[in-house]
Amino acid sequence: MGEVFENSVIKEIINRYKFIWSIDYAMGLLEWDMETYMPKEGIIERSIANRHLSVLEHRLLLDPELVSLVEKAKSIETLNDYEKGVVRVLDREITKAKKIPESLIAELREVTIRAHEAWVTSREKNDFSIFKPYLEKIVELEKRMADYLGYVEHPYDALIDYYEEGWTTKDVERMYDSIIPELKSILEKVMSDSRYPKCHYLESYKYDITKAVEINNRLLDILGFPRTRARIDVSEHPFTINFGIRDARITTRYEGYDIKRTIYSAVHEFGHATYELQIDESLSGTPLARGVSMGIHESQSRFWENVVGRNFAFTKIVGSLIREYFPELKNFSDEDIYYYINTVKPSLIRVDADELTYNFHVALRFRIEKMLIGNEIKVSDVPDIWNNTMEEYLGIRPKDYKSGVLQDIHWSQGSIGYFPTYSLGTIISAQVGYAIEKDLGKKLGDIIDSRNFAEIKEWLKRKIHRFGATYAPKELIRRNLNEDVNPEYYISYLKNKYL
């Protein structure tokens, strides 16, 4: 895009913001290290360091000179879209920072760092009581956060808006009202049919982890994972983190069975990383050099994981790699691999759920979060509510904490309000797939068959990635997909595929 910042006030804002960006960079690196290589006992000093860095960032954001510059920029009528984006993003952050006491920022940061280790230990020992006091503290702090931020109707509004700018609890409820009945209907029909299997031999096949690592790396290379700007590691819960537009890091996990789990975790995280790596270089080091929201971010990971990754053309690529590295599976045809990857059945683990049941998992978490923040339930109630709701939605019940309430990392990070963005992103992913086929005049399957993933990535860059956080999420979709978020594309995608 060339030089996009021309206004002198905006340039001064960006220069001052570099100090905040640098702290973000450092905290991101500390977080990545904590979830990958940090010795277990390092958590004590790490939590203190993160606490002080968070406070320092909060103070820099409220620096009177920066605040004054942003206020001045708000009245300038000649700003271009990128300059307006800088003002929108920073004004939003400053407004929130003014409302939140420094002590709350510090306490939440330190508690969540310690809570991460408690969550890991709880999972290992399958003992909710270890994590419970940390979750109680996090919920208490998040309630206070919502009160400080303010809301019109429900305290959860303040938390969902943190992750998805402009969204409210009612927006989330409308989203689920529009898709859950349709999903139930489609799932019922698929479960009564035998075309998409409920289980597959390969789900219990025990694989050599060293070979699975090679398959993931080969697949990432086929997709165009830029090794000089990105890397893949292993963590308890797969994630993506970026340190700018030239350094994105993803993780997966290897459980030793059901190899599609690690493969599709890697493909999912590849989608997140690609978004960050394709932001225009002119935005580097600015408030715009980030994904605009978690819903848009999840649309990119879910697009690659499902719309591309579970397409028959892509499962053929996966199948060829599986047969190459595991010759004993050479008799499994492309069709066998496709149906293995697209098994449909109620299951307990969200990250491994199929396309039809996935959003029930997310709706469950939204339901619990809303009740927790609304003082309708206590943390001690959560395991039973979790199990009962899982039974209500999918007819199955967790037998332990690890496959139930302890399976996700997010609450240990204080990420309450985050989960609905998974469903929003899943909906948008189908809308993106439709727009790509319409614009390029080609079926995605044909593009995948030719292994021309660069063509897909270029479209995503042009329409979504390059802008970073320039436009608010609703505006970005409206401008570049030519309509608002529309769940009908998602339901149509599922019906066309499964029915």
CATH number at residue 401: 1.10.1370.30
Answer yes or no: is 3 within a domain: no
Does residue 404 share a domain with residue 346? yes
Q: Is 145 in the same domain as 216?
A: no
Residues 53 and 17 in one domain: yes
Residue 111 sits in the same domain as residue 200:
no
Angle formed by the axes of helices 8-36 and 81-99, nearest 10° = 60
* Residues 198 and 50 grouped into a single domain: no
116 is in an annotated binding site: no
Residue 51 counted as domain residue = yes
* Residue 363, in any domain of the structure: yes
Whether 80 and 210 map to the same domain: the answer is no
Classify residue 162: in a domain, yes or no.
no
175 and 318 assigned to the same domain? yes
Cite the beta strand spans of 154-256 per DSSP E: 230-234, 240-242, 248-252
47 CA to centre of own chain: 24
- Evaluate whether residue 2 is within a structural domain: no
Q: Is-catalytic flag, 269?
A: yes
Q: Please classify residue 163 by burial: count the beta carbons closer than 10 Å to its beta carbon, then call 0-12 exposed, 13-18 middle and 19+ buried.
A: buried
Are the C-beta atoms of 298 and 421 separated by less than 8 Å? yes
Both 138 and 227 in one domain: the answer is no
3-state secondary structure of 230: strand
Residue 183 within a domain: yes
Task: Assign residue 376 a region (left: φ > 0; alpha: ψ between -120 and 50; beta: otherwise).
Answer: alpha
Pick the last residue of a domain from 129, 154, 179: 154
Strand 230-234 and strand 248-252: the pairing is: parallel
Phi-psi region of 326 (alpha: psi -120 to 50; beta: other; left: phi over 0): beta
Binding site annotation covers 58? no
112-168 pLDDT, tens digit each: 989 999 999 999 999 999 999 999 999 999 999 999 999 999 999 999 999 999 999
Encode 332-347: b = buried (16+ Cβ within 10 Å), e = exposed.
bebebbbbbbbbbbbb
**Structural domain harbouring 196:** 169-498
The average confidence (pLDDT) of the chain is 96
What local confidence, expressed as pLDDT, does residue 1 receive?
A: 65
Same domain for 99 and 134, yes or no, is yes
Out of 31, 110, 165, 269, the active site residue is 269
- Residue 187 sits in the same domain as residue 144: no
| 322 & 186 share domain | yes
Q: How far apart are CA 260 and CA 413, in angstroms?
A: 27
> Does some domain include residue 164?
no
Of the residues 154, 186, 204, the one at which a domain ends: 154
298 a known binding residue? yes
- How far lies 195's CA from each of 138, 236, 312, 354, in Å? 45, 34, 14, 15
Within a domain: residue 161?
no
Residue that finishes a domain, picked among 97, 125, 154: 154
Residue 26 tokens read as 């450092």
Q: How many domains does the chain have?
A: 2
Distances (CA, A) of 71 to 21, 87, 148: 20, 8, 22
Q: Do 113 and 201 share a domain, yes or no?
A: no
Place of tokens 């690659």: 304
Task: Quote the pTM value.
Answer: 0.94
Per-residue pLDDT of the chain (499 residues; tens, 9 = 90+): 668 999 999 999 999 999 999 999 999 999 999 999 999 899 889 989 999 999 999 999 999 999 999 999 999 999 999 999 999 999 999 999 999 999 999 999 899 989 999 999 999 999 999 999 999 999 999 999 999 999 999 999 999 999 999 999 999 999 999 999 999 999 999 999 888 999 999 999 999 999 999 999 999 999 999 999 999 999 988 999 999 999 999 999 999 999 999 999 999 999 999 999 999 999 999 999 999 999 999 999 999 999 999 999 999 999 999 999 999 999 999 999 999 999 999 999 998 899 999 999 999 999 999 999 999 999 999 999 999 999 999 999 999 999 999 999 999 999 999 999 999 999 999 999 999 999 999 999 999 999 999 999 999 999 999 999 999 999 999 999 999 999 999 999 999 999 9
188: its two tokens: 């019922």
